[in-house]
Amino acid sequence: MPIPDQRDLEQTRATLRAWIQPKLQEMTDAVVTDVEISDFNAPQGSGYSNETLLADFTWHEDGEGKSDSLVIRIEPKGYKVFMEADFELQHRMLSLLDTQTDVPVPPTLWLENDPSLLGARFFVMRRIKGAAPADVPPYLTAGFLFDASPERRRTLWQNAMDAMIKVHSVPLEKVRFLDKPELGETGFDQTFEYWKRSYEWAARGHVQPVADHAWEWMNANMPTDRPTSLSWGDARLGNMMFDLDTFEVTGVLDWEMLSLGGPSMDLGWWLFLEDFQAYNLEPLEGMGTREETIAYWEAGTGKTVNDLHWYEVFAGFRFACVMMRIIQMFGEPGDSPTAYEHDNPVTRVLARKLGIHPFDD
C-alpha cells in the first residue's frame, strides 16, 4: 500500500516530459525530439516511505528512435514514516554502488533538487527487470517463491545472501560521506542516537510497553564493539529483485535506512524480518535456516558476528518505530495512540525476542 499522496498524473506526465528532454540531450549529445511517455502510473505496491512513479519513455536522437523504462522516486514532503530519510544521500549511495562496486542496483540517472516541479525533490533510475518476494500476500503463502521448488528456493536464498555480502564488502573509504559526527563518535553510535530520536518522535510521549522494554534492555546490554562501516539498513528478501528464470539478484533496493552502523545491523534486521514474515506461518522448504544464514554470512564476509541477539532486538525496536508511524498514518486525528500501535505482529515478535509476555493471548 503506497503512502497517502494524491497527484495529478496527467499534469505530472507533462512536467516530466518537458523536464527530461534537455536531460536526454545533455546525456547523449544529440538532438532529442518527440519525447513521449506511456504506461505512466503510481504502483499500488510501492511502499509507505516514498512516492514512486513508473514510466516508459520514447524519443528520437538525431532522428533515431530510442526508448527506456524509468522509475521516479519522490522525496516525501507530507506524511513521513522516517524522521529523516537522507534523500540526497540515497541517490549518492545508489550512484556509487552502480559505478564503483559489484552490488546490483538500478542505474541511477538524475537528481532534481528543484521542488517546484513535482512538489518535492526527486531522482530518476532505470527500471530493472525481475520481481521481489511480496509482503502482501506474504511470499510464504503465495507468489513465485512459494511456487518454486525447494532447489530453486535454495538458489534464490544463496543469491540473496551473496548480494548482501557484497554490500558488506564495500570499503569504508568509499562511503565516509555517510558519517554524521554530530550524532556520535562511531557509525554504530550515530545510528543508535538517530533511532533514539526517532522513537521519541514516533511514540509522542506515550507508553509503548514492548518498545520501552526493548530500549531499557538495549541500553543495559550495549555491545562493546561499535563499528563504523556500511549498513544497507533495510536488508530483507522483499527489497531485492530477482530474475524469474535464473533467480539471480537484479537489484538491491530501498536505501532509506542506510547508515555506517555496521553489517551486524543488517544481519540482525534480516533475521528479525524472517521471523516477522514467518509469524504464525510455516517456513518454506529450501530457504536457509537461521543457523545456515549466520554461517553463510560469516563465511562470505570473513567476519564473526557478536552480540547478534542485541542486533535482533534493535531491529525489532526500529521496526516497532516504523510501525507506529504507519499505524498513525491510517489512524484517527489526534495524539492518542491506538492499541494496535503497541500490540501488533512486530511488537509480538519483539516481545518473544525479549522473553516477555505483555499481551493477553
Structurally, the chain folds into a number of domains equal to 2
Predicted confidence (pLDDT) at residue 331 exceeds the cutoff of 80? no
The answer to whether residue 85 sits within a structural domain is: yes
Evaluate if residue 361 carries a pLDDT over 60: no
Residue 62: domain span: 9-126
Residue 71 and residue 126 in contact, taking contact as beta carbons nearer than 8 Å: yes
* Confidence bin at 4 (pLDDT 50/70/90): very low
- Mean of all residue pLDDT scores within the chain: 92
Same domain, 99 and 193: no
Query: Across-strand partners of 124?
Result: 72, 110
Average pLDDT estimate for 300-311:
96
Residue 3 lies in a domain: no
Read off the pTM: 0.93
Three-state secondary structure readout of 57-123: EEEEECCEEEEEEEEEEECCCCCCCCCCCCHHHHHHHHHHHHHHCCCCCCCEEEEECCCCCCCCCEE
State the average pLDDT over residues 75-83.
84
Q: What is the mean pLDDT of residues 264-275?
A: 97
| Final residue in a domain of this structure, among 93, 126, 159 | 126
Same domain, 149 and 194: yes
Q: Are residues 202 and 102 in the same domain?
A: no
Q: What is the CATH number of the domain that holds 30?
A: 3.30.200.20
Q: Which three three-digit cell numbers place residue 21?
A: 528532454
